[in-house]
Amino acid sequence: MKESQAAVLEPPAEREQQSRRQRTAPKRQPRYNVILWDDTDHSYDYVIMMLRELFGHPRERGMQMAKEVDSSGRVICMTTTMELAELKRDQIHAYGADGGVTRCKGSMSASIEPVPE
């Protein structure tokens, strides 16, 4: 029997079940960037330590990111789901002041933004 004939001979219930599986394929959650914003109140050491503790970035990667935020004004710390991005943004806001900089009054600024599709 040819393949085209086999498809015609499939029971209608089986064809509908295959069609339903194709329609209900799980959709991927939208992705969000966690953005760290530059300021003059935090040291490189603070940024490196924060990125290591909150995101697990090694010291070398933290240094690269600290230089990027210093030179361009922002750096993407992580790309993830909206829920985790919100958590990481809030953790940056709650991280606290840089004890090594006397004028520092609090945490760094962060935001989240959707990744363009």
Q: Where are the domains of the chain?
A: 32-114
pTM for this one?
A: 0.76
Q: Identify the bridge partners of residue 36 per DSSP, sorted by sequence position.
A: 75, 110
User: Quick one: fold of 32-114?
Assistant: Ribosomal Protein L30; Chain: A, (3.30.1390)
Residue 117 — pLDDT band, cuts 50, 70, 90? confident
The Cα 26–Cα 8 span in angstroms is: 28
Residues 68-110 have pLDDT tens digits of: 999 999 999 999 999 999 999 999 999 999 998 999 989 999 9
Burial label, 77 (beta-carbon count in 10 A; 0-12, 13-18, 19+) = buried
